[in-house]
């Protein structure tokens, strides 16, 4: 009853107020929300109270050598600079993926670059990896006491790595390695983002030969840093890849020593938009949220049926049924972003509660 009341309050009161604030500018609302969460992050009493409000049934999950207290985590992109890792955990996320971060600071693409599609339950973004850089993220996490294997914030912390826009594609591996060297002491795992549509040429890094060299370089760096317990390296793939291309990605990840896959990123497709949002179809950028639900499920199911690597399911989770469908398709863990924007913290509790009550072994999953 508490979760239901909280969810209703968010949908009827808080979300409309947020969507109207700052002239309806989604990015300004996002920035202001992060500022509030950053303040909470430094207040132990507030964090304790938040945990009491958001607690609910969860099922622990084991994946790539880590224990996750719940099945649903925060997707990359929500907190690029790691300003609120403790607050995200207190809200009920079972893990937090910070970033995407690049080797050097960059402003991202020109504004406006974030658009709501409320009738479709989606977002379009072309942020372009706006962030303060890997060194700044590492320094912030060090101050916050977030280090690999540390008890704070109480959930695994992943860090998504991307390529600096001005770095030539032929130098991409060195760029990713520079980011890895900076953040690895603070990361329980890293995710290699080669699938954002908002950095020119980035998705070409999913080509088999290029991806193999990049993953091998990062896995090698992880083993050199800690030979006994290297940081797990995951690869995040685009939903727009063909199944043949996904097979190539699987072959590369398996052979190069990747620990898992994150599926999926945002899509360039525009199927599934409701009529009131059709005018946004021409906006450049990646589409997320409900229009991605079916494709994300298909990609997760394809990958999970062909590999023993854990798959983190992302994309189109706007209800507990959506989350359970991705788990049934073979995902070991889940991440949310757009669904959280529209449904709030109640979505986390609903997804976790559904997963906790469902059988662990699911048909079609090799996880």
Q: Are 192 and 236 in contact (CB under 8 A)?
A: yes
Check whether 127 is labelled as a binding-site residue: yes
Check whether 1 is labelled as a binding-site residue: no
Q: Are 95 and 58 in contact (CB under 8 A)?
A: no
Helix (H, G, I), strand (E, B) or coil at 216: helix
Cα separation, 247 vs 333, whole angstroms = 21
Check whether 109 is labelled as a binding-site residue: no
Please tell me what DSSP assigns to residue 305. T
Nearest to 74 by CA among 53, 89, 52, 57: 89
Provide the 10 A C-beta neighbour count for residue 276.
Answer: 11
Residue 196 falls in the annotated catalytic set: yes
Check whether 193 is labelled as a binding-site residue: yes
Check whether 242 is labelled as a binding-site residue: no
Provide the 10 A C-beta neighbour count for residue 339.
Answer: 27
Check whether 43 is labelled as a binding-site residue: no
* Tokens describing residue 81: 């600079």
Cis peptide bond upstream of 112, omega within 30: yes
Check whether 76 is labelled as a binding-site residue: yes
Check whether 163 is labelled as a binding-site residue: no
Instruction: List helix spans (H) across the chain.
Output: 2-9, 15-20, 26-41, 44-54, 85-91, 134-143, 172-183, 208-225, 243-256, 293-304, 320-328, 338-343, 346-357
Is beta strand 72-74 parallel, antiparallel or unpaired with respect to 66-68?
unpaired
Residue from 179, 196, 288, 365 carrying the catalytic annotation? 196
Please tell me what DSSP assigns to residue 238. -
Check whether 198 is labelled as a binding-site residue: yes
Check whether 308 is labelled as a binding-site residue: no
Check whether 338 is labelled as a binding-site residue: yes
Residue 203 C-alpha from the chain's centroid: 17
Cα separation, 160 vs 241, whole angstroms = 20
Check whether 131 is labelled as a binding-site residue: no
Annotated binding site for FMN: 76-80, 100, 160, 193, 236, 264, 289, 316, 337-338
Annotated binding-site positions for substrate: 80, 125-129, 193, 198, 265-266
Provide the annotated active-site residues. 196
Which parts are annotated binding residues? 76-80, 100, 125-129, 160, 193, 198, 236, 264-266, 289, 316, 337-338
């Amino acid at each position: 009853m508490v979760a239901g009341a909280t969810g209703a309050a968010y949908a009827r009161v808080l979300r409309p107020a947020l969507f109207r604030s700052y002239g309806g500018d989604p990015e300004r609302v996002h920035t202001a929300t992060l500022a509030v969460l950053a303040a909470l992050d430094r207040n132990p009493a507030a964090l304790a109270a938040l945990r009491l409000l958001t607690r609910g049934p969860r099922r622990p999950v084991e994946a790539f050598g880590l224990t996750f207290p719940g099945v649903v985590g925060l997707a990359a992109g929500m907190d690029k600079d790691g300003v609120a890792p403790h607050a995200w955990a207190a809200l009920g996320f079972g893990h937090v993926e910070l970033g995407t971060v690049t080797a050097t600071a960059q402003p991202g693409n020109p504004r406006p670059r974030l658009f709501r599609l409320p009738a479709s339950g989606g977002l379009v973004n072309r942020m372009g990896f706006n962030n303060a850089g890997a060194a700044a993220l590492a320094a912030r996490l060090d101050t916050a006491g977030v280090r690999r294997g540390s008890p704070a914030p109480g959930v695994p912390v992943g860090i998504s790595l991307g390529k600096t826009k001005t770095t030539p594609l032929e130098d991409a591996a060195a760029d990713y390695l520079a980011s890895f060297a900076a953040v690895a002491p603070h990361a329980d795992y890293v995710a290699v983002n080669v699938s954002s549509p908002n950095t020119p040429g980035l998705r070409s890094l999913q080509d088999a030969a290029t991806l193999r060299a990049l993953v091998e370089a990062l896995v090698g760096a992880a083993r050199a840093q800690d030979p006994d317990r290297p940081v797990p390296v995951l690869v995040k793939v685009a939903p727009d890849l063909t199944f043949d291309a996904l097979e190539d990605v699987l072959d590369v990840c398996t052979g190069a020593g990747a620990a898992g896959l994150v599926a999926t990123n945002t899509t360039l497709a525009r199927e599934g938009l409701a009529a009131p949002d059709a005018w946004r179809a021409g906006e450049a950028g990646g589409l997320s949220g409900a229009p991605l639900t079916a494709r994300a499920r298909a990609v997760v199911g394809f990958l999970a049926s062909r590999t023993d690597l854990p798959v983190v399911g992302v994309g189109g989770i706007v209800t507990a049924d959506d989350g359970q469908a991705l788990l049934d398709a073979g995902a070991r863990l889940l991440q949310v972003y757009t669904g959280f924007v529209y449904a709030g913290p109640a979505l986390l509790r609903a997804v976790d509660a559904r997963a906790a009550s469902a059988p662990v072994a699911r048909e079609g999953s090799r996880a």
